[in-house]
Chains A and B, each alone.
Chain A
Amino acid sequence: MAIGVKVLPRPGREVSYVRATLKGMALTFKHMFEKKVTMQYPEEKSTDAEHGSGRWSLSPRWRGTHRMLTDEQGRSKCVACGLCPQICPANCIKLVPGEDEQGNRYPLIYEIDEFRCVFCGYCQEVCPEEAIHVGVHYENSEYTRGRFVYDLERLSSQTHAVSTLWDPTDPKGE
């Protein structure tokens, strides 16, 4: 025996082709005169002051390419403690520590391979000196692959804003 077919009595306005077509056409026509949602990218950016807070603002969880903060004398805040290469899950941070005459540790080599980086933000979280940060930044084009290994000088000379690592237990950052 054939299975029972459930037939729903539906009002004409729900199954009418003509009505549906006209309704759809009215809808698309109305949309032609609505406000456009396109962001004119090179002219308007999410990181702009005027657009950054509105519709196109970046997520508070955004983690972009790194930036090394410096102190007043322009030296990097990094003390080469070795925590960030230790915690880095992608193993993309290369750190060779050095020590000056006063016994202050500083990085001889500090390189981040941005291609290997998974932008988890652990380096920023673990850093005791608040030196290394992930940035609020997304324009990273380069002409060669080699340029994506950021050395200490490059990291220190970045000027973009840094991420305020978003905490899921405190979503508003209070």
Chain B
Amino acid sequence: MKGYLLLSVIKMLLVFTVLMVGVALLTLMERKVSAWMQNRRGPNRVGPAGLLQPAADGLKNILKEETFPVLANRWLFLLAPALSFIPALLLFAVIPFGAPLPVDFDFTLGPLGRFVHHGPMPLVVADLPIGFLFVLAISSMGVYGIALAGWASNSKYALLGGLRACAQMVSYEVPMGLSLIPVLLLSGNVSLSAIIHEQQLGLWYVLPLFLSFFIFFISGFAETNRLPFDLPEAESELIAGYHTEYSAMKFSFFFIAEYSNVVTVCAMVTTLFFGGWDIPFTHWDESGGVLQSLATSGLFFLKVMFWIFFVMWIRWTLPRFRYDQLMALGWKVLLPLALAYIMVICVAIYAINRYTGWTDPVMRGLGLFGLNVLIAVLVFGLLDRNVFVRGSARQRRALQARAQRAPVVT
């Protein structure tokens, strides 16, 4: 028991440290990527290639004055950064970041007693049986921090930002949750370790459940308030949205929370749809061993980094949504799409079980993949502006007919 406790504490420290340092470096990466995409160099003055820039920023933020708006609700104002910071860090506890590491020790440490551990140690802080339900539950707590920040600041900009964040995050939670039901249907388990195991046996879920991945990733953008869904902070409209009134380290906490949410979303995408720490086309990584653990952790890191880069890439490419477009996308497109997709996958899995004798998960995955190609073509063909979103063809014809009848007023 004590051995388990000791290992848990070590894992906690490890994950916390890596996450905090990683988040700090992500702020630098964000600036670098944005600079490169705009033919600039990015920060390169502090330290080699600007690597110490996050340290300089952090130091600056610690030394800055803490301001409190006169009429702000002081306690809620103080509580809000913590409330958005804690869930952001809590989320990473359930994400497995490598193959189980074989650990064997048995020693006695003075008055603390005997520490014993034998056998493989899963590389995850807490391998909860409720898996991604925990992630969904805790990630929706983040909205409290943002809403409270907006409300407690007693500022119009912050309030508008908080309101927008509430509506947006509540709206996108629905398709996000629904998009994970096909994953549950296919894997038969919500535990993330079990989902990774299922993907090792069959295909990575991005192939048989492509649309789920698509919906989850888009909702993930909206949940983390990243561009193109950054309406809660929308510089050009709301100054800085919900954290307009925050300064110094309290502001930094919101920033850290945003980036650790990004990391979590990317880690979730990797775990649920890209095999987690799985090395594809080989079963060497499941055989257990220190080297295997290191290699799979490294690959997991690379996969997450790729998705983080992707998030930044999107951010510096796409413009911000208008608010009604955002709501329309959430409620009129993603929600029905997710519901319909659940139906389709249900029927497909039932049909595979009933009419084909496929028991091999790879075969079942390939069957679903074929179906998904069809669905993807249909969805991306139909959802494109000219056919579906912009208005039906009938409405357009009616407009055209009316335009021909009435003289055009310009």
Measured CB to CB, the residues of A under 8 A from B are 1, 3-7, 9-10, 12, 15-19, 21, 24-25, 27-29, 31-32, 34-38, 40
Contact = CB atoms under 8 A, between A and B. Distances in A.
Interface string B307-331: 0000001101110000000000000
21 contacts: A3-B406, A3-B409, A4-B406, A4-B408, A5-B402, A7-B403, A12-B386, A15-B386, A18-B384, A19-B384, A21-B318, A24-B317, A25-B313, A25-B314, A28-B313, A28-B316, A28-B317, A35-B39, A36-B36, A38-B41, A40-B41
A31 B407 CA distance: 46
Interface string B16-48: 000000000000000001001111110000000
A25 B33 CA distance: 13
Contacts of A9: 400
Nearest to B33: A32
A16 B386 contact: yes
Q: Which of A5, A19, A29, A37 has the most CB of B within 10 A?
A: A5
Contacts of A25: 313-314, 317
B318 A24 contact: yes
Nearest to A6: B408
B41 A7 contact: no
B384 A28 contact: no
Contact of B37 (A1, A5, A12, A32): A32
B121 to A, nearest CB: 40
A34 B317 CA distance: 16
A83 B79 CA distance: 68
A15 B40 contact: no
B396 interface: yes
B329 to A, nearest CB: 10
B390 to A, nearest CB: 7
Contacts of B406: 1, 3-4
